[in-house]
Amino acid sequence: MLNGKKIVVVMPAYNAETTLRRTVQEIDRTIIDEVLLVDDCSSDGTVTEARKLNLPVIQHDVNRGYGGNQKTCYKAALARSADIVIMLHPDYQYTPTLLTAMAAMVAYGTYDFVLASRILGRDALKGGMPLYKYAANRFLTLVENILLGSKLSEYHTGYRAFSRTVLETLNIEANSDDFVFDNQMIAQALAAGFKLGEISCPTRYEPESSSINFRRSVVYGLGVLQTAIQYRLHRWHIKRYEYLVGHRLSEADTHIQRAQVD
């Protein structure tokens, strides 16, 4: 807890058995109040390992996709009375040692939504990021900064912290269940006027780190460009996109998620 704010870390998991323990062991539990894992129908022992670590677990009975997993994560965290929610991948690609810093940036009202950028530190390639992913990241970020009117160093990190107000306001149920969900959330937050901040995060690509293949990366990139164009059309009042309009979660949404947690 920081500044009286309850902090919940959510882990959208898929086949993370081999890296989960290492990730959880580096979480500072003197600051983080709860850690919740949502398993997206893994085929390995992720859930068994999570229970060995005494983590609350939600299991999907079918694979709902990366975005679908996050939808469950955030609703469940709000149901557990979180004031700050931080998404941390359980594949050990992002260092848990930044959790306290990210939480503080939200807890004291500096930002509403914090992104851990792998680009700010300028060592993304040294950390193992594939060259084609780095090049695509830089190109897409340039286009997005132009169309979204922002100045972020990266839009594609999966390490994020949110205030409760952000998650209650954004219409996340209208977003994709695939990887472009991450990008849509940023567009939604900018459309709603929330303050976005960044923190430098080391890049760590290891054999166990989850990563989408080239074909899915292309699909993601096209989705990113579509999102940026839709945002600009929406802001110019040329076309209205419902997912860019705020939508507060109901009490029923959060009660359902509370009941599903082990």
The per-residue pLDDT for range 234-246, each reduced to its tens digit, is: 999 999 999 998 7
* Euclidean distance between CA atoms 255 and 249, whole angstroms: 11
- Whether residue 113 lies inside any domain: the answer is yes
Question: What is the rounded distance in angstroms from the CA atom of residue 5 to the CA atom of residue 192?
Answer: 22
Rounded distance, CA 251 to CA 207, Å? 41
Residue 1 inside a domain? The answer is: no
Is residue 2 included in any domain, yes or no? no
Q: Give 43-81 pLDDT, tens digit per residue.
A: 999 999 999 999 999 999 999 999 999 999 999 999 999
Angstrom distance (rounded) from CA 140 to CA 221: 7
In a domain, 260, yes or no: no
CA distance 82 to 162: 10
d(CA 50, CA 121): 32
- Residue 253 falls inside a structural domain: no
Task: Let me know if residue 202 belongs to a domain.
Answer: yes
Residue 261 lies in a domain: no
Please, which pLDDT band fits residue 252 given cuts at 50, 70 and 90? Answer: very low
State which residues form the domain around 225: 7-245
Give exposure, 198-225, as e/b (b: 16+ Cβ within 10 Å).
Answer: bbebebebeeeebeeeeeebeebbebbb
Total tally of structural domains belonging to the chain: 1
Query: The domain that contains 155 carries what CATH number?
Result: 3.90.550.10
Q: What residues are paired with 117 via a beta bridge? A: 200
Instruction: With a cut of 70, say whether residue 257 has pLDDT above it.
Output: no
**Hey, is 198 helix, strand or coil?**
strand
* Helix, strand, coil share of the chain (percent; to 5): 45, 15, 40
pTM of the model: 0.89
In a domain, 48, yes or no: yes
